[in-house]
Chain A
């Protein structure tokens, strides 16, 4: 029983997700093919079926972007209701200008989004939304609802996932 408890504990710890996934190329391979350095084709075997997403071909699908293309496009889509001030596709920064909704002319918003890398990950995008209110003819900083930033990030991730799914089906 003690062994079972220990095994259960190990699985529980692993399930908590603190570890790093070990890829197949980090495991020992005793085939003779594995002892030859490099591959004539430049990739691990000749692609017979499917779409290559691990090599330079996949990189080219990023269209020269420095960050993940799906997150980039999803962020632009999601923030498209705001006027764009600047967008740096290499650094992964999108900054909008102030926008005042017609329904609430006494408040205005702007947003800054950071795309943090080339991986499509749930922590790959950060959004900061800023809000101001009109008081006595001048704009004054005002707090944003605590969940606004997270909601925007989730919206971007959902859109990115949608874009990715559409591409993966090809």
Chain B
């Protein structure tokens, strides 16, 4: 086995760093890109009128991203670079932390090395291959992204926000990602991360469930988290009679932290299949996912009486672009265990229609309407562990990118 490993490593090293055809060397460039958006949102949702307080429906909101993009190419044909994305991301902090809503953090950040012969390796905080590089079938190119757009930024309370996932659906845990060159329309890839931790630190202040390297604990301190996250996918892209076709088959798997004095939770084991077609300005796509997971790729706890049914999710959408205008619609439908203490099935659904008009390259106006529901019948007479909530959000905004 050792010989095979050594041979494999040698082949990989030779492929990535070995002799390559003469190619144009490019001295490194450093670019700064950015994004800013301003939205007016009208939000009508259940559960925001309580005896203690009421919320209004209209508000303005802004958001931004700054990207630093480094890229170069060596004379032997190996390209390399790094991407660092900084964003305003603390938009759901508790009310007392209003100032923290303007704090910055890093989104994705990674270094990459790419060879025409061997493919690309990425190292850093990224989405992986199924939910990142090779993601297929999620149509979000209109409005603010429809069901994956800005609407949930305006919905109050996690219990009022339907759960789902699309590209970028897991956090950007620090990982290694490999993606292959394209062969006869196919490319494939795999990614691995030791845990769901991201960012700089691997050590932590005190031993406990908050550490990235948290592995196990007794029941009273147990927290269910992902370990050894693996994604693998193969993608096909081709053109038939002027119709562009893309398809994906992928798998997301993980282990889970262990409960040393009780039942441990279960890791992810989810299959993902995506298909999309593009022709005459239309893009249509669908994505189906199913397997061992809760809604939104949450982990399932194990225990007597807990609802641990499999999750299944449909996402579909269509967009049409003519000149500077893009219109589209998308929806998701998720069936899952939801509240595991409730034996009933959770149903999360949302649909959206929207449009964006490009005033100039990189400057757009958007309008979008999205409606989402979250339903899980209560299992007790007092109806205290059920949920039946709806949110409707209309957004009118502008965004700019450079």
* In the complex, chain A residues 40-88 whose Cβ is within 8 Å of any chain B Cβ: 40-53, 70
Chain B: minimal CB distance from A145 (Å): 23
Decide yes or no whether B119 CB sits under 8 A from chain A: yes
* B21 and A41 contacting across the interface, CB-CB below 8 Å: no
Stretch from B22-30, B194-202, B213-221 forming part of the interface with A: B22-30
| Contact, CB under 8 Å: A39 / B401 | yes
Instruction: Using CB atoms and an 8 Å cutoff, list the residues of chain A in contact with chain B.
Output: 1, 4-5, 7-8, 10-22, 24, 27-28, 30-33, 35-53, 70, 119-123, 157, 160-161, 164-165, 168-170
> Once the chains bind, are A27 and B132 in contact (CB under 8 Å)?
yes
Which residues on the A side are within 8 Å of B108 (C-beta)? 31
- Whether B119 contacts A22 by the Cβ 8 Å rule is yes
**Which 3 pairs between the two chains have the least Cβ-Cβ distance?**
A19-B181, A38-B361, A50-B29
The smallest beta-carbon distance between A135 and chain B, in angstroms, is 40
In the bound complex, CA of A44 to CA of B12 (Å): 31
- Closest Cβ of chain A: how far from B11's Cβ, in Å? 5
Give chain A's interface secondary structure class.
loop
Task: Assess whether A30 is in contact with B132, with CB atoms less than 8 Å apart.
Answer: yes
A119 to B402, CA, bound (A): 27
Contact present for A44 and B11 (CB under 8 Å):
no
Contact between chains at B29 and A52 (CB < 8 Å): yes
Q: A8-B7, A12-B11 are in contact. Are A38 and B133 (CB under 8 A)?
A: no
- Cross-interface CB contact of A44 among B27, B31, B360, cutoff 8 Å: B31
Q: Mark B181-194, 1 if CB is under 8 A from A, else 0.
A: 11100010000000
Cα(A24)–Cα(B132), bound, Å: 12
Instruction: Name the contact of B364 in the complex, choosing from A37, A160, A161, A165 (C-beta under 8 A).
Output: A37
Query: By the criterion CB–CB under 8 Å, are B118 and A14 in contact?
Result: yes
Q: For residue A146, give the distance in angstroms from its CB to the closest CB of chain B.
A: 22
> In the bound complex, what is the Cα–Cα distance between A117 and B211 (angstroms)?
54
Contact call B182/A22, Cβ cutoff below 8 A: yes
- How distant is the Cα of A38 from the Cα of B363 in the complex, in angstroms? 8
Which of B33-41, B44-52, B334-342, B369-377 lines the interface with chain A? B33-41
Give complex CA distance A103, B241 in Å.
61
**Beta-carbon contact of B1 and A31 below 8 Å:** no
When C-beta atoms are compared, the residue in chain A nearest to B356 turns out to be A37
Which chain B residues (2-21) contact chain A, with CB distance < 8 Å? 4-5, 7-8, 11-12, 14-15, 21
Asked if B399 contacts A48 (CB within 8 A), the reply is no
- Identify which of B1, B119, B144, B145 contacts A4 (C-beta below 8 A): B1
Assess whether B114 is interfacial by the CB under 8 Å rule. yes
New contact pairs (4) apart from A28-B127, A33-B65, CB-CB < 8 Å: A20-B116, A46-B33, A50-B72, A157-B22
A35 to B397, CA, bound (A): 14
- Whole-angstrom distance between the Cβ of A97 and the nearest chain B Cβ: 29
B242 interfacial by beta-carbon distance below 8 Å? no
Contact between A40 and B361, CB atoms less than 8 A apart: yes
Complex Cα–Cα for A46 and B362 (A): 13
Asked, given contacts A38-B358, A51-B29, whether A7 binds B8 with beta carbons under 8 Å apart, the answer is: yes
Do the beta carbons of A38 and B362 come within 8 Å of each other? yes
Q: Are A33 and B358 in contact (CB under 8 A)?
A: no
Residue pair A45, B8 in contact (C-beta under 8 Å): no
How far, in whole Å, are A170 and B144 apart by their CA atoms in the complex? 41
- How far is B110's CA from A27's CA once the two chains are assembled, in angstroms? 14
When distances are taken between beta carbons in the complex, the residues of chain B under 8 Å from A44 are 31, 33, 69
Complex Cα distance, B8 from A39, in Å, reads 42
